[in-house]
Chain A
């Protein structure tokens, strides 16, 4: 049972890595600047960690405080720099877990479906931030990283429940 879960998680992470590696150069018309590429990968890693830890944000603890602390820091940087749209989106995302009931919305039989649906707004963060609509402007790599992290967490939790 455990081996099957590990294999599933590995397959998800590998698929996500492939999509992320391909999407970034595609977004830049296959002329990837190494600096931009590296930055993209770092941001994707951040989104992956966000997805991996997001379900735990509903449970009181150090991780919850750390996540909200990082969101406050992000807001404190974005608001003075006048990135109001992104800061407003962060505010909405930060409020959502407080409205949902713990371990009822993030976990359960439809959890995998939710891992795909809930992070959808991340797709549009880059479109909103740049103000330029277009397919290449979509935050596909960020979305995929978040979904992979989130799915990994849910699969690991389901294993925990089944044992």
Chain B
């Protein structure tokens, strides 16, 4: 029974990651449009921000995993491994306040029921919102061009792809 649950979890994980990859190929259009607008570049110059597109790709995949953090799953292991590493780095660097707040938010999915608040469109919009302001905080420049719109779009797209895939699976059942 446990083995079956583990297999189902792995299939679910692979399915969501695959859907996330396909979603990125759609999301990359508004992401590229934002980068070009912000940098005031021609389309041919987009490759100069290849690293931003790569980060967006991984954020899209992570976004596709986030809703399943409320259940024992491979997605939960991946997301929490990243959060744990981030928390430990913050502690080692002496940012205890940041580590405490990150830890607090990381505990919350553990008390939520599966397919509960984390599986809602509102969560898909709100949870990635800090990504919008991370570049502003990192650079210290209060300009709208500094907003992490590309990161936000990538994560929301991944998150939405998970919700839509779940609806499709539920319909089939």
Contact = CB atoms under 8 A, between A and B. Distances in A.
Given A65-B111, A85-B96, A88-B91, A98 B103 contact: no
B31 to A, nearest CB: 30
B106 A87 contact: no
B157 to A, nearest CB: 25
Contacts of A87: 96, 100, 103-104
Nearest to B108: A72
Given A60-B72, A92-B84, A84 B100 contact: yes
A91 B91 CA distance: 11
Contacts of B102: 91
A116 interface: no
Looking at A65, A90, A91, A103, the one whose CB has the most chain B CB atoms below 10 A away is A91
Nearest to B106: A95
Given A65-B111, A88-B87, A88-B90, A94 B106 contact: yes
Given A84-B96, A87-B104, A69 B111 contact: yes
Interface residues of B, number: 27
A92 B100 contact: no
A79 B110 contact: no
Interface residues of A, number: 27
B110 A68 contact: yes
Contacts of A75: 100, 103-104, 107
Contacts of B111: 65, 68-69, 72
A84 B107 contact: no
Interface stretch (B11-19, B75-83, B145-153): B75-83
B173 interface: no
Contact of B107 (A60, A68, A99, A102): A68
B59 to A, nearest CB: 20
Interface in A62-87: 64-65, 68-69, 71-72, 75-76, 78-79, 84-85, 87
B103 A90 contact: yes
B4 interface: no
Contacts of A88: 87, 90-91, 96, 99-100, 103
Given A72-B111, A99-B84, A91 B104 contact: yes
A96 interface: yes
A97 to B, nearest CB: 9
B80 A98 contact: yes
B137 to A, nearest CB: 18
B101 interface: yes
Given A87-B100, A92-B88, A92-B91, A99 B77 contact: yes
23 contacts: A58-B72, A60-B71, A60-B72, A64-B110, A65-B110, A68-B107, A71-B107, A72-B107, A76-B104, A84-B100, A87-B100, A88-B90, A88-B91, A94-B106, A94-B110, A95-B80, A95-B84, A95-B103, A96-B84, A98-B77, A98-B80, A98-B110, A99-B84
Given A88-B103, A95-B80, 4 more contacts: A90-B103, A94-B107, A98-B77, A99-B84
Interface of B: 2, 69, 71-72, 76-77, 80-81, 83-84, 87-88, 90-91, 96-97, 99-104, 106-108, 110-111
